[in-house]
Amino acid sequence: MLNRPSIENGEYLAEHLATRSPRLLLLDIGGVLFPDPWETIVGDERIGLAKQLDAPQLFRVARELWDTFSLRNASEEAYWETLGATARVKIPIAIVNDITQRLLNPYEWSMGVLNALPSSRIAIVSDNTEFWYQRQKQLLRIESHSMHQYLSFRCGLSKKSKPGLLEMAIEESGVEDVLFVDDRQSNLDRASQLGIETLLFHSPISSTKGDEG
């Protein structure tokens, strides 16, 4: 049985990766390098939409809609329109944009983690939407690092699909020494079934988290 270690501090994560130095690092973004987008915008306890609009049902509906938008190309406008219509809440885009600018920025340790290994040995594996990934990619400068990217909205597969993004990354890399870092235990359980070493990351800066994504 594989060990299930965990780590909580982003600076410690960068140090661990430099020491462990796997041949291939499969790296989640949301909750590891960057706040989870919809969970932060909807569920942040201080300024999230559910609080500002007094609409606690938004979090449940957003979770139910996730696969609809993360497994295909879709616009952010369509996402908020669908979420609002399904939850029967009018969602002002100005409030969404304000929360996005204030809260959706890379964690302070992100660049240290991305620079812990040569970019050729890092692959991004993300179940994110196309529109939020574009913001993450730009702010994290992922294109400049020339990393492989396995993305649910491009492939129509998730990390939990059988087969899915994890199998795709392993098959294309052709290496056996692989470490997968994610903040959701269900994704790590899936990786362990494939014989991949895993590391659970607990962000000290997180909003209410489910186990999807």
Calpha distance 54→49 (Å, rounded):
8
* Cα–Cα distances in angstroms (integers) from residue 21 to residues 82, 116, 117, 132, 150, in the given order: 43, 8, 7, 29, 21
- Confidence class for position 4, pLDDT limits 50, 70, 90: low
Give the DSSP per-residue string, 1-30. Answer: -----EE--HHHHHHHHHHH--SEEEE--B
| pLDDT for res 48 | 97
User: Could you give the CA distance from residue 170 to residue 79 in angstroms, rounded to a whole number?
Assistant: 31
Token pair for residue 96?
């969404």
58 three-state secondary structure: helix
Kindly report, residue by residue over 115-173, the tens digit of the pLDDT: 999 999 999 999 999 999 999 999 999 987 779 999 999 999 999 999 999 999 999 99
pLDDT, position 155? 96
What pLDDT shows up at residue 88?
A: 97
Q: Are 103 and 4 in contact (CB under 8 A)?
A: no
Query: Residues 176, 202: contact at Cβ < 8 Å?
Result: no
pLDDT tens figures, 61-107: 999 999 999 999 999 999 999 999 999 999 999 999 999 999 999 99
pLDDT per position as a tens digit, 30-58: 999 999 999 999 999 999 999 999 999 99
What pLDDT is attached to residue 207?
A: 43
Confidence of residue 211 (pLDDT cuts 50, 70, 90): low
